[in-house]
Amino acid sequence: MLPKGLIAFLVLQLASCAQAATVPRMLGFDDNSCQAWVESKVDPERRGEYLAWARGFLSGHNYANQKQQVSDISRGTVEMFIERFCRDKPAAPFTDAIYRMSDQYSGRGTAITR
C-alpha cells in the first residue's frame, strides 16, 4: 500500500498533466499583442503574415471540427474582425480575435477555453 502523501502527490501530478494537455499551444509570433497588430498596419509584409496565420488557424479549426466549419472568409473580413477586436480589447493578444472568430463563424456558440 502506498503512503497517503505519495498518493496525494501522484494525484496532483496527474491533474496538472491533464490540465496542461488541454491548453492549446500557440505557434506563431514573438509578439502577438494587439499593439503589434496595430503597428503592422504600416508594414504590409508583417500584416500579411498575421493574416495568413489567421486564415491558417481557421483552416485548422475546420480540419479539427469538421461538423462545425467556418465558412469561406475573405482576407478583408478577417482583417476587419481583428481590427474591431483590438479596438475593443487593446491589452489582449490579437490571436484571441481569431479564437472568437472561429466561435462566431462556425456556429459553435461556445468559446474555445484557454
Tell me, yes or no, whether 73 lies in a domain: yes
Instruction: Write the CA distances from 23 to 14, 62, 95, 112, integer angstroms.
Output: 15, 19, 15, 10
Q: What is the pLDDT of residue 110?
A: 57
State the cell numbers at 21: 494537455
Residue 3 in any domain: the answer is no
The answer as to whether 5 is a domain residue is no
Q: Give a yes or no: residue 8 inside a domain.
A: no
More confident residue, 10 or 3: 3
Residue 52 lies in a domain: yes
The total domain count for the chain is 1
Q: Residue 58 to residues 12, 35, 73, 81, 92: CA-CA distances in angstroms?
A: 34, 22, 9, 13, 19
- Residue at 20 is within a domain: no
Task: Write out the residue range of the structural domain in which residue 113 sits.
Answer: 30-114
pTM: 0.68
pLDDT of residue 35: 95
pLDDT, one tens digit per residue, over 47-102 is 999 999 888 888 887 777 677 767 777 888 889 999 999 999 999 999 899 888 88
